[in-house]
Structure 1
Amino acid sequence: MPDKDAGTPRVFLIRHGETEWSMSGKHTGKTDIPLTAHGESQVRSTGAIAVGDNKLIDPSKIGMCWVSPRTRAQHTFSLLFGEQEASLRQQGKVQTTEQLGEWDYGAYEGLKPAEIRDLRKSKGLDTERKWDIWRDGCEDGESPDQVAARIDELIVEVRKLQGPNMNGEQPCDVVLVAHGHLTRCFAKRWLGYPLDMNLNLMMEPGGVGVLSYSHHKVDEPALLLGIGFPAQS
């Protein structure tokens, strides 16, 4: 039986592979650090399982790839697509955008959550409730509203691309390669939720999330699933 929704365009949300800071729980925003060897293995595993002809992410069905400018995201994209990266770039289907840059953590860059809470306590903050990045944002960094605004701008572009092709008229799947907090922010905004909405979506490094639409309508976004692929030994 054919899948009646097979032609509906999808958005593949990719979290970059492991880095030394993500492994230790440090907040990594604009700091440009590379993937670990294990992080590279995570992404290669995802690519081997999920990317290719007639696989989950079929390059022939991609309309555009947007990638964070951070090295860890750029390298993830290259590892994910391998030899097919050059073809996508030649077709003009790859763009680097700061809209997918990780949350600017400001004064909290490089700190672990407990260290952030101690820092804020020393400044007399959070006397009545614990710090929550989704509600409180980051000192000298971005607020939730600022992050939401730049994601919303990209969502407009995605829907402009996919809107005329809701029934498979043109291949227009979208690939987004970004970061831990940013991928969750994107999923929330895709569904129209504020960032302080409690949405339990947390992909492992190198994991994939799939976003789409309900009933072939661009104004009815849907979250399909989140997938994590283990690194090959």
Structure 2
Amino acid sequence: MSDLDASTPRIFLARHGETEWTKNGRYTGTTDLELTHHGIKQVKGTAIQLVGPGKLIDPGRIAHIWVSPRKRALQTFSLLFNNSSSSIGDGTTIAKTKVTITEDIAEWDYGDYEGLLVGEIRAGRKKRGLDSETAWNIWRDGCEGGESAEQVTERLDRLISEIREIQEPYMNGGNAVDVVLVAHGLILRAFAKRWLNYPIDSPLPLMFSPGAIGILSYKNHDIDEPGFYLGMALPLQD
């Protein structure tokens, strides 16, 4: 059975395209930046290649989409599903009833660390007498004035439960119930950890390029065996 014909539901993770702060590594949580020109090109390229009828992300197979309320994520969603090949030709689009804009998949709230570089955060904490034995690690320590790892875990687990409720009745097909999350680099990596039932501070190195797509699913058509695709063959285009 090919990947395209596989009946097991999938979860597509879509990271927003480049912003000005993405380029220089500044922590971008609640700051409402728009995509750069290059960021727009990144998402459009992904849309052309991967989104549309008969493609990897087929709008006709999507049960629901969750989108972060930040401008960069909303802009990415629009580019992926409104201005991409998914809305050209046969007119396939995503119904508004299938889209939820929610803080549950917003970027980690960095609080006092918003707009800072990792080195600046660590230097500031050291100056305040913190982290005398080990360097600051967001996965473990969270953010002063922002979210803790426990708070992020709680909201992601809530979303995961909602997704599994949609997908569980169709683990062997019957209905196409793929879902999409359009969000941010750190929160999507955190989501992947929780999907795999790892603690959010587990040492699981993950990378996620701007404008990229990640894929999660289940092994053996089993709701209790969440997994991720190390690689997936793309559908053959006529």
The answer to whether TM tops 0.5 is: yes
Shift of 1:87: 3.2
Q: Secondary structure at the match of 2:190?
A: helix
Q: Answer yes or no: is 1:54 the counterpart of 2:60.
A: no
Once the two structures are superposed, residues 145-188 of structure 1 have per-residue CA deviations (whole angstroms, 9 ceiling, x without a partner) of 11010000000000000000111111110000110110100000
Shift of 1:208: 0.6
Shift of 1:2: 5.0
Distance 2:138 2:119 in 1: 13
The match for 2:37 is 37
Distance 2:68 2:226 in 1: 23
Q: Percent identity?
A: 57
AA of the residue aligned to 1:66: W
Distance 1:152 1:218 in 2: 15
User: Residues 69 and 101 of structure 1 are in contact (CA less than 8 Å); yes or no, is this contact kept in structure 2?
Assistant: yes
AA of the residue aligned to 2:98: K
The match for 2:64 is 64
Distance 1:143 1:194 in 2: 13
User: Residues 81 and 93 of structure 2 are in contact (CA less than 8 Å); yes or no, is this contact kept in structure 1?
Assistant: no
Distance 2:77 2:163 in 1: 18
- Find the partner of 2:195 among 180, 184, 190: 190
The match for 2:95 is 89
AA of the residue aligned to 1:122: K
Distance 2:43 2:161 in 1: 28
Shift of 1:214: 0.6
Distance 2:3 2:73 in 1: 32
TM-score of the aligned structures, taking structure 1 as reference length = 0.93
User: Residues 201 and 226 of structure 1 are in contact (CA less than 8 Å); yes or no, is this contact kept in structure 2?
Assistant: no
TM-score of the aligned structures, taking structure 2 as reference length = 0.91
The 3 A distance-change label for structure 1 pair 205 and 2 is closer
Q: Answer yes or no: is 1:100 the counterpart of 2:97.
A: no
AA of the residue aligned to 1:87: T
The match for 1:150 is 155
Once the two structures are superposed, residues 104-153 of structure 1 have per-residue CA deviations (whole angstroms, 9 ceiling, x without a partner) of 00000000000001110110001111000011100011110110100000
Regions of 4+ moved over 3 Å:
1-5, 83-87
User: Residues 82 and 93 of structure 2 are in contact (CA less than 8 Å); yes or no, is this contact kept in structure 1?
Assistant: no
Distance 2:230 2:72 in 1: 24
Unaligned runs of 5+ in 1: 228-233
Distance 1:41 1:216 in 2: 36
The 3 A distance-change label for structure 1 pair 164 and 115 is same
User: Residues 148 and 195 of structure 1 are in contact (CA less than 8 Å); yes or no, is this contact kept in structure 2?
Assistant: yes
The 3 A distance-change label for structure 1 pair 99 and 205 is same
User: Residues 211 and 225 of structure 1 are in contact (CA less than 8 Å); yes or no, is this contact kept in structure 2?
Assistant: no
**How many residues were matched structurally?**
226
Shift of 1:13: 0.5
Distance 1:69 1:226 in 2: 29
User: Residues 217 and 228 of structure 2 are in contact (CA less than 8 Å); yes or no, is this contact kept in structure 1?
Assistant: yes
Two-structure CA RMSD over aligned residues (Å): 1.7
The match for 2:235 is none
Shift of 1:226: 6.7
Once the two structures are superposed, residues 27-72 of structure 1 have per-residue CA deviations (whole angstroms, 9 ceiling, x without a partner) of 0000101000000000000001110111110110000000000000
Distance 2:194 2:79 in 1: 27
The match for 1:231 is none
Distance 2:116 2:2 in 1: 50
AA of the residue aligned to 2:203: N
